[in-house]
Chain A
């Protein structure tokens, strides 16, 4: 480790974190504020309230991961860091792969570190949808600034963009489409492109190395390998939480956990928090807990170039275009482990091997869609703590996505691609001219003609002004309870239009200060 690296991160950012090996048969504790989940929503609340002098306990079901624990091999990484490994999927009119991390730091450990403030009109749509008031860019900007300062958010520097990202910019520039370096919570990125399997350079400021250590410095206690299961209530008040100690990776259940608390903040993620509420039988007078699940579905077009691109070199996602954001489309460079992206290559046998051999000349670009017409739900399965996820991809959103794919195709040709792989059923596997690529726009595309991934999830405990139209108020407090809050993307009233992490953290910052003022 270089001297500069030592300055970047504390020697052991997880020092003091309680782990599975530290536990006996039972955990009993009490605190003022209990926070469930150490991802972007929970870690911010824990740190802010601990710094405000509150006695805070932070629970996390997953274990802590250090730089040395990360392996770039996709299967191994996903099976360790993701709940249900790479096989979690939403059922509906298509099977849509989705994911949720189980680790200290939650999703921030394995996302692309994209930090993007949503534009003001996003909140107008939220207000229109659930009548929510007082949540807008102006009121959130101070919270965005605090979070960005804590995480060191900055634009992706040119020195780590690499050719894959540059080609996207070349294509956008040639077409006059706006394109900008993505702002990320990264310090000292070396462009390894390994965000998805965990940063081996320790450059990504995921919450486990930023907010959680800060919370602990302010006195918060952090228990990992603890699954929160039931909120204990007495009338409109929560009095604590029951749970289980769970073994890392096997999820084998061990001793019981009982924590008394004056205030409970659920930040287990929008696919887990509703399960805790539903199994606890609370906060659901509106009937919206677990309902109205929204995703940002994503699709990629792979561009092949004549010369090597070395796509494995460069920031995971270095450039994006917000040109079509108001229409519901965000265009960006894509990267994930090569074996995962290979699912979009056609064929098998020797022809598939040929495609793999030309991987070094490939650059994947993707479009994510706000999918305002598509929705679903999460509910508990009969057994276990994994959610039953259901989501339908509405044809109007498929049509919108098709438009985005057409634009991506144009960007590929403008960037100098010699061929593209659209990865859509019913369209030629390899397209070698811009004219032929018009089929991407003209084909009768259906949801199940695509291999869509559901990237971001939200709205399962949506905020509303009227308690009949949502689960929490504009400050994240459950309408039905006096001292239970939700602080994850489940709070969103609709799509944030952009990648959700920064907004989730800004809302968490606001929720924490609301709690500090109230309690």
Chain B
């Protein structure tokens, strides 16, 4: 009897250990999927860490994808550096909010799909699907996050002189030539 009890006890202990081991492995895998595998930080003094920088770059090239009617992607237009400068100039409490925006975008697919992966690990088509969902979402704060992120990215994109030229957009102090006329 005691043998069986001991055997059962050992078996339970083995099962528990196995479950713990599997749970630990799954947790490690999940942590790795969420927080590992970002490219190295190219600029140590950047206001963005390497995870944030990777996310901002991915978002920039989703909002302004390569091969579009304006022949500059978000990254090519310098959106990441603009974003880093922008966040550095923000007051501290706003920096926290912007970092939350970055984090919520990165982890958003885990909650809203289309695949349970972080944003930077989605394919381009899946990223597009994620943002389409955000833009038309019934959830106000999801729409707001999308619009806020796109607003900063748009400032970045339109600050590029080549993009401005493509749009025929000119910041002209004297568009009607009145200075010479006077």
7 A–B contact pairs at CB < 8 A? Answer: A85-B90, A162-B176, A312-B171, A312-B172, A342-B151, A353-B69, A356-B158
The answer to whether the Cβ of A152 comes within 8 Å of any Cβ in the partner chain is no
Which of B5-13, B109-117, B162-170 is near enough to bind chain A? B162-170
A79/B90 in contact, CB under 8 A: yes
Known: A85-B94, A349-B128. A200 touches B62 (CB 8 A): no
The answer to whether the Cβ of A324 comes within 8 Å of any Cβ in the partner chain is no
A348/B63 in contact, CB under 8 A: yes
B173/A200 in contact, CB under 8 A: yes
Please report which residues of chain B, range 116-134, place their CB below 8 angstroms from some CB of chain A when the two chains form the complex: 128, 131
Nearest CB of A to B4, in Å: 64
| Residue numbers in B under 8 Å from A359 (CB-CB) | 167, 169
- Bits for A248-271, please: 1 = Cβ < 8 Å to B, else 0: 010100000000000000000000
B91/A313 in contact, CB under 8 A: no
A298 to B40, CA, bound (A): 44
| Complex partner residue of B175 from A85, A192, A448, CB under 8 angstroms | A192
| Residue numbers in B under 8 Å from A348 (CB-CB) | 62-63, 131, 135, 150
| Residue numbers in B under 8 Å from A340 (CB-CB) | 151, 155
The answer to whether the Cβ of B45 comes within 8 Å of any Cβ in the partner chain is no
A515 to B151, CA, bound (A): 46
B173/A201 in contact, CB under 8 A: yes
Interface centre among B65, B70, B154, B167 (most CB of A within 10 A): B154
Query: 18 more A-B contacts (CB under 8 A) besides A74-B155, A162-B175?
Result: A74-B159, A87-B90, A312-B172, A314-B175, A339-B159, A343-B147, A343-B150, A348-B131, A348-B135, A348-B150, A349-B131, A350-B69, A356-B163, A357-B69, A357-B167, A384-B93, A425-B143, A448-B140
Interface residues of B, count at CB 8 A: 48
The answer to whether the Cβ of A72 comes within 8 Å of any Cβ in the partner chain is yes
The answer to whether the Cβ of B2 comes within 8 Å of any Cβ in the partner chain is no
Please report which residues of chain A, range 158-186, place their CB below 8 angstroms from some CB of chain B when the two chains form the complex: 159-160, 162
| Residue numbers in B under 8 Å from A72 (CB-CB) | 171
Nearest CB of A to B54, in Å: 19
Known: A312-B171, A343-B147, A357-B166. A85 touches B176 (CB 8 A): no
Please report which residues of chain B, range 4-56, place their CB below 8 angstroms from some CB of chain A when the two chains form the complex: none
A312/B159 in contact, CB under 8 A: no
| Residue numbers in B under 8 Å from A444 (CB-CB) | none
A354 to B167, CA, bound (A): 10
A357/B178 in contact, CB under 8 A: no
Known: A347-B135, A348-B150. A160 touches B173 (CB 8 A): no
A76 to B144, CA, bound (A): 22
How many residue pairs link A and B with beta carbons under 8 A? The number is 135
The answer to whether the Cβ of A2 comes within 8 Å of any Cβ in the partner chain is yes
Known: A190-B178, A313-B175, A349-B63. A342 touches B154 (CB 8 A): yes
A313/B159 in contact, CB under 8 A: no
Known: A94-B140, A360-B169. A75 touches B69 (CB 8 A): no
B68/A339 in contact, CB under 8 A: no
Please report which residues of chain B, range 85-100, place their CB below 8 angstroms from some CB of chain A when the two chains form the complex: 86, 89-91, 93-94, 97
Task: With CB as the reference atom, state the residue of chain B lying closest to A360.
Answer: B168
Nearest CB of B to A477, in Å: 34
Interface centre among B63, B166, B169 (most CB of A within 10 A): B169
The answer to whether the Cβ of A95 comes within 8 Å of any Cβ in the partner chain is yes
Task: With CB as the reference atom, state the residue of chain B lying closest to A249.
Answer: B89
Task: With CB as the reference atom, state the residue of chain A lying closest to B150.
Answer: A348
B140/A313 in contact, CB under 8 A: no
The 7 closest A-B pairs by CB, nearest first: A72-B171, A339-B158, A313-B175, A350-B68, A75-B155, A448-B140, A339-B155
Known: A75-B155, A338-B158. A190 touches B170 (CB 8 A): no
B65/A339 in contact, CB under 8 A: no
The answer to whether the Cβ of A436 comes within 8 Å of any Cβ in the partner chain is no
The answer to whether the Cβ of A21 comes within 8 Å of any Cβ in the partner chain is no
A312/B169 in contact, CB under 8 A: yes
| Complex partner residue of A75 from B70, B152, B167, CB under 8 angstroms | B152
| Complex partner residue of B89 from A73, A79, A352, CB under 8 angstroms | A79
Please report which residues of chain A, range 292-340, place their CB below 8 angstroms from some CB of chain B when the two chains form the complex: 308, 310, 312-314, 338-340
A353/B171 in contact, CB under 8 A: no
Task: With CB as the reference atom, state the residue of chain A lying closest to B180.
Answer: A2
The answer to whether the Cβ of A84 comes within 8 Å of any Cβ in the partner chain is yes
B62/A349 in contact, CB under 8 A: yes
Interface centre among A79, A188, A451 (most CB of B within 10 A): A79
The answer to whether the Cβ of A4 comes within 8 Å of any Cβ in the partner chain is yes
A87 to B154, CA, bound (A): 15
| Residue numbers in A under 8 Å from B152 (CB-CB) | 75
B179/A2 in contact, CB under 8 A: yes
The answer to whether the Cβ of A488 comes within 8 Å of any Cβ in the partner chain is no
A312 to B174, CA, bound (A): 11
